[in-house]
Chains A and B, each alone.
Chain A
Amino acid sequence: MDGLPAVEFHNLVKQFGTVLASDHVNLSLAKGEIHALLGENGAGKSTVMCMLSGVYRPTSGEIRMNGTAVKIHSPKDAAKLGIGMVFQNFRLVQTLTAAENVVLGDSSPFWRTRRWMERKTREIEALALRVGLPFAAGRPVARLSVGEQQRVEIVKCLYRGNSVLILDEPTSVLTPAEADQLFATLRKLKSEGKTIILTTHKLKEVMAVADRISVMRKGQMLATLDRAQTSEREIARLMVGQDRSPPKTRVPREPGEPLLIMDKVTVVSDRGRHALDEVSLTLNTGEIVGIAGVAGNGQKELAEVLAGLHVWKSGTITFREFRWKGPSVRGSIKQGIAHVPEDRMISGLAGGLGSVDNLLVKSYHSDERANLGFLRTALNRLWSQGLVEQFDVRTAHLDAPVKQMSGGNQQKLLFAREIHQRPHLLIAVHPSQGLDVGATDAVHNLLLGLRAEGRSVLLISEDLDELLLLADRIVVLFAGRVMGEMTHERADREQLGMMMAGVT
């Protein structure tokens, strides 16, 4: 790491209205280093990355590359300077092949003949193989897995000869094995002199791959640390500003009698394939059962069937000794099944409505909340006020649209709604996704609290740490089948990772 820094931020300020999203940030990235940018949600990581990739323009301050000041006013400018970004949500055209996506925007002969395309496809496949991220370049992107799609994005940056790579939460969509593969590639690229900057929530990964780590909080750059001279604990402390409160102790307790019995349940997905394939699963009272697996292996359908949102083709579902005849959302709610869906703003909350209306979603037809069809408005406000306080939801006003709240507060509101009904079973799908450390702890404590009360939780998560921390048993789903099961005591990270990747 000698010579001038590849990229330097000098007193970079970005102001949105009255909010300083980036408050005089200074940062330097050396040539040939992997730099991790850490911080809670809203710390300003994305803002900084977006300024580097030309999505936002700084209010003031300067970006220097190799010692000279540069102006990055658009993604085009960034591309010219050799800066490429891999977004969390890929920017790929689903119907085009991987190779066509890579050459998109490439200056090329006007006629892209079949022969030209074939040559490019081979070139791209060779490039991908060389860096250790192989994929079938001639295949339409829609038919590639999420992990492969990410590879296409990275190879796209390399194909364009970018020297600075920005990766936003690159491992959030990968299996542990795929993530390891990615890290190996990043190290290789580093040795070739590329500068890599990435964000992640997972401290373990940071320690595994980063050379230096910068921590942001509330728009300010707190520190840049050498990996060798720091610890997970120090980083976590910097991020949240205090030591993480250790989660509630997870007292061992004997599971009760069976609450939910699924026997050889098969579900056909909207696309016509078997999303769940003869899945048998038993959940006992007072137990947290974790469902591990990479997204798209049947978790969504499992949650939807139990929430009464999806039909199943064969098999039986018995809940509290009552055998289900067919899906019914109301039926599931009445029987005491609560559901915290993934993507809380898509299916959980109505962003344009206030807290009261959002809290009413599951209970508005009860006699407590409505009388002869008329909502008990005054009473419901009081009740909402109580819940908001009890679950520590910070909101400007009970009627303020919930889309204005932070992700953590939205999730707390959602949990408040689902838990206050004292459900027998809570289905929680990626409950801590996108939450900062403090809010994640709050969610974990809520789940453990339910367990302590003798209620059951079906915890669907892609975060192995979360499952290992909370679940009494972990069941791994792969391609709609149960790959295996492990108890809390016997759980083994590596073995789980293998099962998640479909290896037994």
Chain B
Amino acid sequence: MNKYRLELDPSGRESPWWVTIVALLLAFSLVAVFILATGKNAATVYAKMLTGAFGTEFGLTETLVKAIPLMLCGLGVSLAYRIQVWNIGAEGQFVAGAMAATAITVYLPGLPAWSALPLMVLAGIASGALWGLFTALPKVLFGVNELIISLMLNYVALQALDFVVYGPWRDPAGKNFPGTPAFTAAESLPVWGNSRLHMGLLLALVAVVAAWVFVQKTRWGYELRLLGANSEAARHAGVNIKSYAVLVMLLSGGLAGLGGMAEVSGVAHRLLYGISPGYGYTAIIVAWIARLNPFGIVVSAVLFGGLIVGGYSVQTLGLPSSISNLLQGAVLFFLIAGSILGKVRVRRREAA
């Protein structure tokens, strides 16, 4: 006889906040096992990651640079997840935004900064939103599952990216390197001091505040919350559910597209093969860690940015940077486990 048994908590409350912390700790413990298996001391490795990501000015700015696309993509998917629209296409929407912003530099070269940058921002947002619309329309018109379309569209966007960087947009002076010519200063977002930290951070933070105001303070945000909490009650209030599926996909795609624009204009200064190292997918974890809360996404995006940068810094210890991928996977695993197991209570069996 087991002395303990499991009971499902009938109240179905959300798991408490510390579950997230425990999940993170468990993830780090699990990966520590793998680090130990390579013969390294896990504590040293984690310490190195920490100082690498947050300990120096260089590390910190690099972390923030990585956090910008995560923040924008994470914020985007979080809006869709609020009403159970499972957009996993932030990666494709990000690439679509990066390509559209680059298109401005290719087809309208030589614009001054005051017109080039706003145009690129608009193009990035519009093209990401369009990419989101490609997912939303089949969903609301024919009931096609958005998970599948949004995922497939990622590959379409990546193929399109390959086509332009290997083909028509390739830098003739680039020695066959798959990328466009470098952007001019007018086409690049201003950076902070000597670092690579660019104005995209400001755009991302503005987007975070705007998203919070939209969700919490406006009528449409109210309808969104109502829809997320109980779609049947929303239907009884006259909320058009389908138009909201379209709206969140437009917003979701637009934000990811802005992320893509910021990446090419602020960091890479050109469109490259493989412009995104999977930001759109990592953003899904970022959004869930933050429980879809806009301000929480700022924190989790910086955390994951640090994870990526920290992963680079452990290379000096002879470890591959894929340690950070390992950590990301472990975090997601324990987070999902936590949200499900959080509903289960362990009870001691009464003495028989």
Interface hits, A319-361 → B, CB 8 Å: 328-330, 333, 339, 341, 346-353, 357, 360-361
Q: Which of B218, B223, B234, B236 has the most CB of A within 10 A?
A: B236
Contact (Cβ within 8 A) A329 B229: no
Q: Determine the chain A residues whose CB is within 8 A of the CB of B236 once the complex forms.
A: 307, 309, 329, 339, 341, 347-348, 361
Q: Determine the chain A residues whose CB is within 8 A of the CB of B219 once the complex forms.
A: 364-365, 370, 373-375
Contact (Cβ within 8 A) B218 A353: no
Q: Which of A328, A346, A350, A352 has the most CB of B within 10 A?
A: A350
Per-residue CB proximity of A368-384 to B under 8 Å, as 1/0? 00100111010000000
Count of A interface residues, CB-CB < 8 Å: 33
Residue A264 interfacial (CB < 8 Å): no
Residue B317 interfacial (CB < 8 Å): no
A361 to B223, CA, bound (A): 8
Count of B interface residues, CB-CB < 8 Å: 20
Q: Which of A328, A373, A377 has the most CB of B within 10 A?
A: A373
* Contact flag A60-B350 (CB < 8 Å), given A347-B232, A348-B233, A357-B222: yes
Chain B interface main SS type: helix
Contact (Cβ within 8 A) B230 A377: no
A-B contact count (CB 8 A): 70
Nearest-CB residue, chain A, relative to B237: A361
Contact (Cβ within 8 A) A353 B238: no
A57 to B225, CA, bound (A): 38
A333 to B238, CA, bound (A): 9
Q: Determine the chain A residues whose CB is within 8 A of the CB of B238 once the complex forms.
A: 308, 328-330, 333
Contact (Cβ within 8 A) B218 A374: yes
Residue A139 interfacial (CB < 8 Å): no
Contact (Cβ within 8 A) B352 A71: yes
Q: Determine the chain A residues whose CB is within 8 A of the CB of B163 once the complex forms.
A: none
A357 to B230, CA, bound (A): 12
Interface hits, B196-255 → A, CB 8 Å: 217-220, 222-223, 225-226, 229-230, 232-238
Contact (Cβ within 8 A) A353 B226: yes
A362 to B225, CA, bound (A): 14
Contact (Cβ within 8 A) B218 A375: yes
Residue A59 interfacial (CB < 8 Å): yes
Contact (Cβ within 8 A) A351 B230: yes
Contact (Cβ within 8 A) A57 B229: no
Contact (Cβ within 8 A) B237 A362: yes
Contact (Cβ within 8 A) B235 A353: no
Q: Determine the chain A residues whose CB is within 8 A of the CB of B226 once the complex forms.
A: 350, 353, 357, 361
Q: A60-B350, A347-B235, A375-B218 are in contact. List 18 more A-B contacts (CB 8 A).
A: A307-B236, A308-B238, A329-B237, A333-B238, A347-B230, A347-B233, A350-B226, A350-B234, A353-B225, A353-B229, A357-B225, A361-B233, A364-B222, A364-B237, A365-B219, A373-B219, A373-B220, A375-B222
Q: Which 10 A-B pairs have the closest CB atoms?
A: A329-B238, A350-B229, A350-B230, A330-B238, A352-B229, A347-B232, A361-B237, A353-B229, A350-B233, A370-B219
Residues of B with Cβ closer than 8 Å to A? Answer: 11, 217-220, 222-223, 225-226, 229-230, 232-238, 350, 352
The 8 listed contacts between A and B (C-beta, < 8 Å) are A57-B350, A329-B236, A339-B236, A348-B233, A353-B226, A357-B229, A361-B233, A375-B222
